[in-house]
């Protein structure tokens, strides 16, 4: 409520003292929304519950027994999915609202316990043997199904994360799980393909209006994975690092056009950040390849001051333009 407007009307004699007092009383007694506060508390409750169960199981693993633990996890998982199945609204390719305030959190609890159950089976009993990709592929498929079937963005994020884990493990399982080596050619190109695939899925979802509100989640993951893969390739392939400016520039251009089309400043912020890192890496490497002395150090320092200022000015102007 615009109180200064009513005060100005009162000063001009268009509003009586009693009316102004009633307006101020009404403004002071307005209800305010605690929607996001409640959502935050519920999300924290789910995290604390799952974390507390994990600590309880860890400290009493010898007395409880693995079979009992698996049974408890399975019971929580099944109960959550049964509740969601009974309460959900009919499926549609468009956005389907949650039937009540607790539905999203019960579904999230069921999906978390599902992943925990499958991981527990693999770690304790080696159910899938050395097929580590299968241990991530199965929950990935289930999570994608649940995300679309129950229309849940949080579950979709979990599914995409599982997809990235499955893609990395399927390419180089032993390097990742045993040597902890993420600096390899296969993983970089896998990231590029995954980023492109997620971006294409986002475009297809919007084009065909199949859960079009999932578009931003797909683009967000795809965009970050693409940029990180380009920067990783630039660092990994030291002899050809300038060539990686081409896919980086192509990615920047694509998401710049997408940002203008959608009006999302978030895309501008990310492409500016990643593009700035890539260009700065090439320029600094090029300067250091000439020689290393105080003159080069001064030039690099002035470059960062000037380029950072230019980036801030660009973001400020784009923010005003898009608003």
Residue 243 CA: distances (Å) to CA of 191, 235, 238, 250, 282: 17, 11, 10, 12, 10
Going by pLDDT thresholds of 50, 70 and 90, the confidence category of residue 29 is: low
What pTM value is reported for the model?
Answer: 0.79
> Given a cut of 80, is residue 64 above it in pLDDT?
no
Six-digit token string for 237: 């392939």
Mean pLDDT along residues 27-43 = 64
- Residue 172: what pLDDT? 47
Residue ranges covered by each domain of the chain: 64-174, 182-323
User: What is the percent of the chain with per-residue pLDDT over 70, rounded to a whole number?
Assistant: 86
pLDDT tens digits for range 118-147 = 888 887 788 877 777 788 889 999 999 999
- Residue 176: what pLDDT? 45
Q: Which range has the top average pLDDT, 107-121, 146-160, 162-176, 179-193?
A: 146-160
- Residue 33: what pLDDT? 59
Mean pLDDT along residues 316-320 = 91
Mean model confidence pLDDT for the chain: 84
Pick 305 or 100 by higher pLDDT: 305
Going by pLDDT thresholds of 50, 70 and 90, the confidence category of residue 309 is: very high
Mean pLDDT along residues 78-86 = 94
> Given a cut of 50, is residue 218 above it in pLDDT?
yes
Are residues 102 and 94 in contact, defined by beta-carbon separation less than 8 angstroms? Answer: no
> Given a cut of 70, is residue 58 above it in pLDDT?
no
> Given a cut of 80, is residue 89 above it in pLDDT?
yes
235-244 long-range contacts, CB within 8 A, separation 24+? 235/281, 236/183, 236/184, 236/185, 236/188, 241/281, 241/282, 241/285, 242/282, 244/278
Q: How far apart are CA 295 and CA 279, in angstroms?
A: 20
Are residues 223 and 270 in contact, defined by beta-carbon separation less than 8 angstroms? Answer: yes
């Amino acid at each position: 409520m615009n109180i200064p407007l009513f005060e100005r009307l009162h000063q001009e004699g268009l509003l009586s003292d009693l009316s102004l007092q009633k307006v101020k009383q009404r403004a002071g007694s307005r209800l305010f929304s605690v929607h996001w506060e409640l959502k935050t508390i519920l999300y924290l409750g789910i995290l604390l519950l799952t974390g507390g169960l994990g600590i309880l199981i860890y400290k009493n693993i010898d007395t409880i027994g693995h079979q009992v633990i698996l049974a408890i996890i399975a019971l929580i998982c099944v109960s959550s999915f049964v509740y969601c199945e009974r309460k959900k609204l009919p499926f549609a390719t468009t956005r389907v609202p949650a039937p009540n305030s607790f539905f999203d959190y019960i579904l999230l609890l069921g999906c978390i316990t599902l992943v925990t159950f499958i991981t527990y089976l693999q770690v304790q009993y080696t159910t899938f043997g050395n097929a580590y990709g299968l241990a991530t592929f199965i929950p990935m498929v289930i999570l994608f199904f649940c995300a679309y079937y129950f229309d849940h963005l949080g579950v979709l994020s979990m599914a995409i994360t599982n997809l990235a884990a499955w893609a990395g493990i399927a390419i180089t399982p032993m390097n990742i799980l045993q040597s902890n080596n993420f600096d390899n050619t296969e993983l970089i190109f896998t990231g590029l393909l995954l980023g492109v695939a997620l971006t294409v899925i986002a475009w297809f979802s919007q084009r065909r209006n199949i859960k079009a509100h999932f578009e931003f989640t797909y683009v967000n993951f795809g965009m970050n994975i693409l940029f990180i893969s380009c920067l990783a390739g630039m660092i990994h392939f030291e002899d050809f690092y300038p060539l990686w400016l081409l896919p980086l520039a192509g990615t920047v251009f694509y998401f710049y056009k997408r940002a203008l089309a959608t009006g999302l400043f978030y895309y501008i912020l990310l492409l500016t950040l990643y593009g700035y890192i890539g260009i700065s890496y090439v320029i600094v490497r090029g300067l250091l390849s000439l020689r290393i002395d105080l003159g080069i150090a001064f030039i690099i320092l002035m470059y960062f001051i000037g380029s950072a200022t230019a980036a801030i000015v660009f973001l400020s102007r784009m923010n005003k333009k898009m608003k």
